[in-house]
A and B are shown apart, each in its own frame.
Chain A
Amino acid sequence: MTPLATAIPGSSNNGYVAAAYIVFFAIVLIYVAIMAIRLTRVERGLRELNERAETPRDGATQGETRQDGLGEDDAHSQARERETV
């Protein structure tokens, strides 16, 4: 059986224990912070999407589906938008 002590032997080790636990929680906190930033970005994107979906554009049907290729650049899609208007 693992031997047990009756008193705390040396106190120089406290620093290491604290460091280990602090490092772990720091990692978790950093991760949560990154997630929070990402969440705000997604929420902002959603808000923009909602606004744009609600304001009517001249001559454009709302909710029009377009076949978009991956990696189409902005200039190209902007040109397409102008065409429908």
Chain B
Amino acid sequence: MSSRTFPPMNGRGLRALSIATVAAIPIALALVFFYAPIEAEEGFLQKIFYLHVPLAIVTLCGFVLGGLMAIMHLRTRERNWDLRSYVAIHMSLIFGVGTLITGSIWARGSWGHWWVWSEPTLVSFLIIMLLYATYQPLRFAIEDPERQARYASVFAIVAGAFVPLNFLAVRLSTEYLHPRVLGSSSNLPPKMAFTFLVSLVAIALLYATLCCYELTAKRSRMLLKSRSRTLGFQ
């Protein structure tokens, strides 16, 4: 895969991706509300599971991907990789906010509190979001663009490695006296498992599509600025 055609930025690639996303989301929604059975303990509230957990998974993968792209950037010194890393992390930040909000709503519905320390996913997410919230201030505090990209890549790599370790540590420290509030995704009956899988695919497609759009938008803006400057305007 040459670095110029990956990820799909325009033309048929992007269109196919967008169509797949626009198709997948209603299908997932239909499955969630009409196909998946109601769970006994939590009832209808459990439906949030199909939104919250895929969001969480995609967010974390996005952060790790951002770290991997940062490694590529430091190895090849192509600014393209830095741009991709930035977009991946930026998008994961947005999806992460969504994860926290949906998780909080679920906790409120389940336990009556807007925040619970006993749910390890939610807690590790809070820590990870606090960490990645410093990504943009870090970038904008460095003026030299080359150094900014380099330092951002270093951060993305360290933070990307941090994600799994943090999960492990928080999971270990969470007391298992209370049953896990938000339920685990193992031992799902087949209908639920299938619905979950489709939801996961839909959210992942959404993430990929939005990232590609963001990349295209950024590159267009950069191109516009540099052309304006080259032609002597402003």
Within 8 A of A (CB), among B186-234: 187-189, 192, 206, 210, 213-214, 217, 220-221, 224, 227-234
Number of A residues with CB within 8 Å of any CB on chain B: 41
For the complex, would chain A's binding face be called helix, strand, loop or mixed by DSSP majority?
helix
For the complex, would chain B's binding face be called helix, strand, loop or mixed by DSSP majority?
helix
Residues on A with beta carbons closer than 8 Å to the beta carbon of B44 = 8-11, 13-14, 17
Q: List 20 A-B contacts (CB under 8 A).
A: A1-B188, A2-B187, A4-B40, A5-B39, A13-B42, A13-B43, A16-B108, A21-B51, A23-B102, A23-B105, A24-B101, A28-B206, A31-B94, A35-B217, A39-B217, A42-B221, A45-B228, A49-B227, A63-B231, A77-B232
Contact A27 B224 (CB under 8 A): no
B7 at the A interface (CB under 8 A): no
In angstroms, Cα B221 to Cα A45, docked, is 9
Contact B230 A66 (CB under 8 A): yes
Q: A2-B189, A9-B40, A53-B231 are in contact. List 14 more A-B contacts (CB 8 A).
A: A1-B187, A4-B39, A7-B38, A8-B43, A8-B44, A9-B43, A14-B44, A17-B45, A24-B51, A35-B214, A38-B217, A49-B224, A49-B227, A64-B231
Q: Nearest Cβ distance between residue A32 and chain B, in whole angstroms?
A: 8
In angstroms, Cα B210 to Cα A35, docked, is 10
Contact B232 A24 (CB under 8 A): no
Contact A42 B220 (CB under 8 A): yes
Residues on B with beta carbons closer than 8 Å to the beta carbon of A27 = 94, 97-98
Within 8 A of A (CB), among B37-96: 37-45, 47-48, 51-52, 55, 94
In angstroms, Cα B97 to Cα A4, docked, is 30
A46 at the B interface (CB under 8 A): yes
* Chain B residues proximal to chain A, CB less than 8 Å: 37-45, 47-48, 51-52, 55, 94, 97-98, 101-102, 105-106, 108-109, 145, 183, 187-189, 192, 206, 210, 213-214, 217, 220-221, 224, 227-234
Q: Which of A8, A20, A35, A65 contacts B106 (CB 8 A)?
A: A20
In angstroms, Cα B55 to Cα A63, docked, is 48
Contact A16 B106 (CB under 8 A): yes
Q: Nearest Cβ distance between residue B133 and chain A, in whole angstroms?
A: 16
Contact with B along A50-84 (1 / 0, CB 8 A): 00110000000001111010100010010011000
Residues on A with beta carbons closer than 8 Å to the beta carbon of B232 = 64, 66, 77, 80-81
Residues on A with beta carbons closer than 8 Å to the beta carbon of B188 = 1-2
Q: Which of A4, A19, A42 contacts B37 (CB 8 A)?
A: A4
Contact B38 A8 (CB under 8 A): yes
Residues on B with beta carbons closer than 8 Å to the beta carbon of A70 = 145
Q: Nearest Cβ distance between residue A48 and chain B, in whole angstroms?
A: 8
Q: Which of A13, A24, A28, A64 contacts B102 (CB 8 A)?
A: A24
Contact A4 B45 (CB under 8 A): no
